[in-house]
Amino acid sequence: MSDPLVKVRDLKIGATVYPPGEKPHDIEIVHGVSFDLEKGKVLGLIGESGAGKSTIGLASMAYGRGGVKITGGEVWINGRDILKTSFKDVRALRGGEVTYVSQSAAASFNPAKKIMEQVTEAAIEQGKFSKKDAEARARALFAKLGLPDPDNIGERYPHQVSGGQLQRCMTALALCPEPDLVVFDEPTTALDVTTQIDVLKAIKEAIHDTGVAALYITHDLAVVAQVSDDIMVLRHGDMVEYGDVDQIINAPREDYTKALVSVRSIEHEEKPPSGEPVLSVRNITARYKGTKFDVLHNVNADLYPGQTLAVVGESGSGKSTLARVITGLLPPREGEIEFAGRVLSPDLASRTRDDLRELQMIYQMADVAMNPRQTVGTIIGRPLEFYFGMKGAEKRKRIIELLDEIELGEGFIDRYPAELSGGQKQRVCIARALAAKPKMIICDEVTSALDPLVADGILKLLLNLQKIENVAYLFITHDLATVRAISDNIAVMYQGRVQRYGSKSEVLSPPFDDYTDLLLGSVPEMRLGWLEEVIANRKMESAGN
């Protein structure tokens, strides 16, 4: 048997870190990882942030980003160890044998040059094709990747095409020189879910048609399950589990893999509406100051005590604007907000203290939602002091109770936000909201900046607290799995309108309107063959039309 295309043995990667107030020093971030990759196969590298997956991907091009250095091991590609060859050989490898697709095509394309020039550059420079052939090949790839007007799109500049299109151009850039291996580094993570599926489909078909091998790096196991033959699970720079895709998804051996597979599978029984709604949004139409178009059109929704209304939509759907209207930061042009049986003043400044206390908010970026100069105790203690006039021992006792409720404990009271992990920060923000004894909390994408397992922990905590405190959540998110996990009612938003509204079971059951159908159908599912099914269905539909 001949050697595999890629053979990595005991790869070790280090980095220089610059901790504040200490001398810079080297640490190891990947501790001896090995794998093989045959021609035409796809290996998925999966893990949470800090797992070292991108670093490993770039090491297959003998490249280290910033202060990252490859410190040991072997990386064999096409029968030679690229860590030991000359720099000239490495250059011939990059852009020729191995190419790279980054997460952000928008940043990875040179803004000053036409797309065609950039897509064909490596192929021409590495002597693989003449300029004419390279351009013909690029146009063929543009067509294959489903880009509009493939013959002319190359004449445009990067800022003249959309994000999803540019991501496909980046794939064309990587495939143009007929490489043996393409490294895909989170190529769809920055995209909206309905755009993601098109790019994913384009990538999968391109890999299949060109017979290229690929390393597919992502944090999303459901995505990697659609495109890979094998999967390696990484954590903190160590290999956790390595196997074929079927085994990893359907019969994971390690606990960590099991947790990743079962992520977003929280079961939540929907509650029927009971009593009077705590919040009624009535006919809200709103626009931002100085603009000429409405971002919300006649929005209506109800939220019942102790329940969760999920507001779901993609970027630009107006879901965060709705939160600003409810909190009074953006007075609406028309419509009113009824809260706890009274009509709220549209403007924040004229709301009563009880209005403010009973309606709390948790933000997406816990990092910037807490004053970095205040301790956890001060942050949670302020609402107690402000709304209830608590002081001294009484306040401290209550802070500790709250810290226990969010499963952190007394030890955190004197810490600063910078000393907490992402999940811990979000927990402190939850405690701050709870401290006001609110009737309702607006949760604005509170889990989207977190790794999946951490996000699951936060969701479970929120559900648990809802039972104890009987607080209602207005839960804003773009992620349908989160919606399933937490909601009782759902409002699907699209271009500033409520597209579909009702109980969870109603909204998520057919018959669907076109947008909801597209949205639901685009969410990757944790099973093999999902992508093929969707593609086949859509082909049938378009044939039927």
Partner 1 sequence: MPLIVKLLVQRIALGLFLLLLVSALIFAGTIILPGDVAQSILGQSATPEALANLRAELGLNEPALQRYFSWLGGLMQGDLGTALTSGRDIGESIAQRLSNTLFLAFWAAIVAVPLAIFLGLLAVRYRERWPDKAISGVTLASISIPEFLIGYVLMFFFGVKMGWFYPTAAAFRPDAPLLDKLDAIALPVATLTLVVLAHMMRMTRAAILNVMQSAYIETAELKGLNSFQVIYRHAFPNAIAPIVNVVMLNLAYLVVGVVVIEVVFVYPGMGQYLVDSVSKRDVPVVQACGIIFAAVYIGLNMIADIVAILSNPRLRHPK
Partner 2 sequence: MRIPLAAAIGMFFTALYFLAAIFAPLLAPYGYDEVVSSGFWDPPSAEFLLGTDGIGRDLLSRMIYGGRTTIFVATAATILSFTTGSVLGFLAAVAGGWVDQLLSRFVDLLMSIPSLIFALVVLSVMPVTLPVLIVVMGLLDSTRVFRLSRAVAVDIEVMDYVEAARLRGEKTAWIIFREILPNALSPLVAEMGLRFIFMVLFVSTLSFLGLGIQPPQADWGGIVKENAEGIVYGAPAALMPAFAIATLAISVNLVADWILNRTTSLKGGRG
Binding site for partner 1 (CB under 8 A): 61, 63, 65, 90-96, 99-100, 102, 104, 107-113, 118, 121-122, 125-126, 156-157, 159-160, 173
Which of 90, 340, 348, 453 lies at the binding interface for partner 2 (CB under 8 A)? Answer: 348
The listed partner (partner 2, partner 1, none) that binds 361, CB under 5 to 8 Å by sort, is partner 2
Closer by beta carbon to partner 1, 99 or else 317: 99
The two structure tokens encoding residue 255: 């606990």
Rg (CA), the chain: 26
Q: Interface residues for partner 2 in 399-458 (CB under 8 A)?
A: 416, 418-422, 432, 436
d(CA 183, CA 57): 6
Q: Specify whether the CB–CB gap between 141 and 206 falls below 8 A.
A: yes
Closer by beta carbon to partner 1, 110 or else 250: 110
Of 188, 226, 217, 233, the C-alpha closest to 527 is 226
Closer by beta carbon to partner 1, 170 or else 472: 170
The listed partner (partner 2, partner 1, none) that binds 370, CB under 5 to 8 Å by sort, is partner 2
Of 364, 363, 403, 409, the C-alpha closest to 380 is 403
Burial of 320 (0-12, 13-18, 19+ CB in 10 A): middle
Closest approach of partner 2 to the CB of residue 357, in Å: 8
**What is the per-residue burial (b if ≥16 Cβ within 10 Å, else e) of 478-490?**
bbbbbbbbbbbbb
The listed partner (partner 2, partner 1, none) that binds 327, CB under 5 to 8 Å by sort, is partner 2
The listed partner (partner 2, partner 1, none) that binds 323, CB under 5 to 8 Å by sort, is none
Closest approach of partner 2 to the CB of residue 443, in Å: 13
Which parts of 10-110 fold into alpha helices (H)? Answer: 53-59, 87-93, 105-108
Closest approach of partner 2 to the CB of residue 325, in Å: 13
The listed partner (partner 2, partner 1, none) that binds 93, CB under 5 to 8 Å by sort, is partner 1
Closest approach of partner 2 to the CB of residue 403, in Å: 18
The listed partner (partner 2, partner 1, none) that binds 144, CB under 5 to 8 Å by sort, is none
C-alpha distance from residue 476 to each of 292, 322, 432, 502 (Å): 25, 9, 19, 15
Closer by beta carbon to partner 2, 35 or else 339: 339
Burial of 543 (0-12, 13-18, 19+ CB in 10 A): exposed
- Token pair 């809802």 in the structure block, residue: 466
The two structure tokens encoding residue 474: 């207005």
Near partner 2 by CB under 8 A, which window of 4-12, 161-169, 322-330, 526-534? Answer: 322-330
The listed partner (partner 2, partner 1, none) that binds 373, CB under 5 to 8 Å by sort, is partner 2
Closest approach of partner 2 to the CB of residue 371, in Å: 5
Closer by beta carbon to partner 2, 65 or else 373: 373
Closer by beta carbon to partner 2, 183 or else 286: 286
Which residues neighbour 97 within 8 Å (Cβ) at sequence distance 6 or greater?
Answer: 77, 78, 179, 180, 181
Closer by beta carbon to partner 2, 136 or else 368: 368
Q: C-alpha 383: how far from its chain's center?
A: 31
Which of 136, 329, 343, 536 lies at the binding interface for partner 2 (CB under 8 A)? Answer: 329
Q: C-alpha 370: how far from its chain's center?
A: 22
Of 404, 409, 460, 450, the C-alpha closest to 426 is 450
Closest approach of partner 1 to the CB of residue 95, in Å: 4
Closer by beta carbon to partner 2, 415 or else 538: 415
Closest approach of partner 2 to the CB of residue 441, in Å: 12
Task: Collect contacts of 368-373 with beta carbons under 8 A, ≥24 apart.
Answer: 369/425, 369/429, 370/417, 370/425, 370/428, 370/429, 370/432, 371/417, 372/416, 372/417, 372/418, 373/416
Closer by beta carbon to partner 1, 23 or else 159: 159
Closer by beta carbon to partner 1, 67 or else 411: 67
Closer by beta carbon to partner 1, 158 or else 237: 158
Closer by beta carbon to partner 2, 365 or else 520: 365
Q: Specify whether the CB–CB gap between 166 and 148 falls below 8 A.
A: no
| CB atoms closer than 10 angstroms to residue 129 | 19
The listed partner (partner 1, partner 2, none) that binds 329, CB under 5 to 8 Å by sort, is partner 2
Residues in contact with partner 2, total (CB under 8 A)?
A: 32
C-alpha distance from residue 539 to each of 149, 510, 533, 542 (Å): 20, 20, 10, 5
CA 332, 492, 189, 365 dihedral sign is positive
Regarding 21 and contact with partner 2 (CB under 8 A), the answer is yes
**Site pattern 350..389 for partner 2 (x: CB under 8 A):** -x-x--xx--xx-x-x-xxxxxxx--------xx--x---
Q: Interface residues for partner 2 in 489-528 (CB under 8 A)?
A: none
Q: Specify whether the CB–CB gap between 410 and 403 falls below 8 A.
A: yes
Entry field: residues in the chain = 545
Burial of 348 (0-12, 13-18, 19+ CB in 10 A): middle
Closest approach of partner 2 to the CB of residue 65, in Å: 18
Residues that bind partner 2 (CB under 8 A): 20-21, 327-329, 348, 351, 353, 356-357, 360-361, 363, 365, 367-373, 382-383, 386, 416, 418-422, 432, 436
